[in-house]
Amino acid sequence: MADTNDNENLQTTNFIRCRYCGQRNQTGPGEGQPRCGRCRLPLSDAPHKKFAELKKEQYIHPADRKAMAALRAIPGIDSALKKFLAVTGESAIRVIFTASAVKVTPHQCPDLYAKLQIACTTLGVDMPELFVQQNPIANAFTGGVERPVIVLYSQLLERLTDDEVLAVVAHEVGHIHSEHVLYLTAARLIEYLAKSAVLASPLIPIVKELFTLSMRAALLAWARRAELSCDRSALLVTQDANVIGRTMMKLAGGTFASKIDYEQFLAQARDFQKTYDEKALDRFWADVINSGLSHPFPVWRVSEVLKWVESGEYKELMTGEPESAAA
């Protein structure tokens, strides 16, 4: 912006510490939007909050809480999950990904590793293992039980910017922070059960035996709502609602997203909120489950993120102060 043509030969090198990962970066003049050499996120002087003691209760979406309470109220669910935990074990999942996917380390895809570290230090979660797997679907998931692993599909990385990849990684780390992982793993296997065409896993008969039909229905109903909590985790890490909105737009619009107007997409999300009807939405869940979408309704999810921001709860978490004079 400023004209410095009177001292052409003067070195105007600056150092900026990355607000996300802490790396000290050297920036020269005229490079456009400078990015951190380590995590590749944009450099700026704005602060980035790391939460000292974030509790899941501080951000869990009410629909997640309600569905989880309904699930926990089913007699026998605790012992079914305990048995499930005992028979699944971690090793099988780890072996599958170690054999078939690229493990992210400080030396392999170091910028992804840095993004995982940023999400974990911001929310206060121990680092899980992270894998990248070739898959034409833009998706990510967290699996495992006690030692979770996060898997990002290659298509997601090809389609999203660095900020948006951080949002996805933070969403997955949110599942760990929210203690969703055991339930999510059970829900995913139940989904496989519903799609009989999927390759038979040795776990399928176990799932069939352990979980009654009402347990399965409650697990699936909860799993979709759990996404809403983790979109909030993603916002707590990116600290920019537009990054979440753009990520959802790309998930909704696919490769066509480059032609979609973001402002119009936001207007659509706000419009959706106005006509929102929980009962009608409930009826949709069954179709969503049948269609095999694991992260459904991007427009609805954006509208929920916007609503949370507008409620003042997000700002309260960020500043540590209530928005209004509430007790």
Least distance to Zn ion, CB of residue 79, Å: 26
φ, ψ for residue 28 (rounded to 5)?
A: -100, 180
d(CA 170, CA 172): 5
Instruction: Give the list of residues 6+ apart from residue 127 with CB closer than 8 angstroms, or none.
Output: 116, 117, 120
Least distance to Zn ion, CB of residue 311, Å: 22
Which CB atom, from 21 or from 217, has the smaller least distance to Zn ion?
21
Instruction: Give the list of residues 6+ apart from residue 226 with CB closer than 8 angstroms, or none.
Output: 64, 67, 68, 175, 178, 180, 183, 184
209 catalytically annotated: no
Instruction: Give the list of residues 6+ apart from residue 238 with CB closer than 8 angstroms, or none.
Output: 163, 166, 167, 170, 244
d(CA 35, CA 257): 24
Residue 238 near residue 163 (C-beta atoms within 8 A): yes
Which CB atom, from 230 or from 269, has the smaller least distance to Zn ion?
230
| DSSP per-residue letters across 53-89 | S--GGGT--HHHHHHHHHHHTSTTHHHHHHHHHHHH-
Least distance to Zn ion, CB of residue 66, Å: 18
d(CA 67, CA 289): 16
Least distance to Zn ion, CB of residue 234, Å: 9
Least distance to Zn ion, CB of residue 41, Å: 5
* β-pairing verdict for 129-133 and 149-153: parallel
Catalytic residue among 129, 164, 172, 304: 172
Which CB atom, from 34 or from 253, has the smaller least distance to Zn ion?
34
Least distance to Zn ion, CB of residue 4, Å: 26
Instruction: Give the list of residues 6+ apart from residue 54 with CB closer than 8 angstroms, or none.
Output: 123, 124, 177, 236, 317
φ, ψ for residue 29 (rounded to 5)?
A: -80, 155
Which CB atom, from 40 or from 246, has the smaller least distance to Zn ion?
40
Which of 156, 160, 112 has its CA nearest to residue 136? Answer: 156
Which CB atom, from 170 or from 266, has the smaller least distance to Zn ion?
170
Which CB atom, from 36 or from 116, has the smaller least distance to Zn ion?
36
Residues that bind Zn ion in the complex, under the rule CB under 5 A? 18, 20-21, 23, 36, 38-39, 227, 230
Query: Which residues make beta-bridge pairs with 151?
Result: 131, 141
Q: Which residues are catalytic?
A: 172
